[in-house]
Amino acid sequence: MNYINKEIPDFKLEAYQKGELKEVSKSDLLGKWSVIFFYPADFSFVCPTELSDLQDSYKDFQAANAEIYSVSVDSQFSHMSWAETTDTIGKIEYPMLSDQKHQLTDFFNILDEESGQAYRGVFIVNPEGIIKSYTINAMGIGRNAQEILRTLQAAQFVAENGDKVCPANWHPGEKTLKPGADLVGKI
């Protein structure tokens, strides 16, 4: 299924964030850009490297009016225990969502039935709840927070400047393109 320009579903998930248990729903995502970041499991191997990488760039995501929501099928209590016992995870400031009932995992169709874990999916959602970018990786392939941030910034640029597009490796402030006959065969 293609998720581009699809609206995220209504959901209500338990979460852990900075020492507190809370609830996160679709309404919490509306009004700002969101990065929904699925990972396979707490207390694992590649996952803490990715979550730490996101935390290292968290202020950049916030400066871009975006919130990160990490998601696994582990419980919010597992997230809490992982944060309390692991320095790498203990520094995370963004919400860690528990999708034990597979509300989002099933919608995005990223559950590996054999392991019972979510694949490594990243979904960039605009302030209206519409998916503008996504990638899904196999379990052993870690992701790069700076590339996710760059993709978010490109999605934001295109949303604000619909007549212009971002070329490969574009970063804010760099030259963009305005599609038209004058560019055909000249790029």
Q: Is 45 inside a domain boundary?
A: yes
Please say if the pLDDT value at position 185 is more than 80. no
pLDDT in tens, 21-71: 999 999 999 999 999 999 999 999 999 999 999 999 999 999 999 999 999
> Does residue 74 lie within any of the structural domains?
yes
User: Is 176 a member of any domain?
Assistant: no
CATH number, domain at 72? Answer: 3.40.30.10
State residue 164's pLDDT score.
Answer: 93
User: What mean pLDDT comes out for the span 94-122?
Assistant: 97
pLDDT band at 19 (very low <50, low <70, confident <90, very high): very high
pLDDT more than 90, % of the chain: 93
> Do residues 24 and 8 lie in contact, with contact meaning Cβ atoms separated by under 8 Å?
no
Domain limits for position 65 = 12-160
User: In this structure, is residue 114 part of a structural domain?
Assistant: yes
Q: For residue 2, is it within any domain?
A: no
Q: Is 47 a catalytic residue?
A: yes
Q: Give the pLDDT band of residue 180 (cuts 50, 70, 90).
A: confident
Average pLDDT score, the chain: 96
Domain count, the chain: 1
For residue range 124-178, what is the model confidence (pLDDT) as tens digits? 999 999 999 999 999 999 999 999 999 999 999 999 998 899 999 999 999 998 8
In a domain, 24, yes or no: yes
pLDDT of residue 1: 83
| Confidence bin at 80 (pLDDT 50/70/90) | very high
Which one of 47, 131, 154, 166 is the catalytic residue?
47
Q: Which of 165, 137, 174, 171 has the alpha carbon at shortest distance from 64?
A: 171
Residue 153 parent element (H or E): helix 145-160
- What is the DSSP secondary structure assignment for residue 100, as one 8-state letter? T
Distance CA 128, CA 104 (A): 17
- 69 domain-assigned: yes
- Helix axis angle, 46-56 to 145-160, nearest 10°: 50
pLDDT computed for residue 39 by the predictor: 98
Instruction: Please determine, for residue 86, whether its predicted confidence score (pLDDT) is greater than 80.
Output: yes
| Measured torsion, CA atoms of residues 46, 92, 145, 23, in degrees rounded to the nearest 10 | 100
104: left (phi over 0), alpha (psi -120 to 50) or beta: alpha
How many Å from the N-terminal Cα to the C-terminal Cα in the chain?
A: 32
Instruction: Identify whether 179 is part of a domain.
Output: no
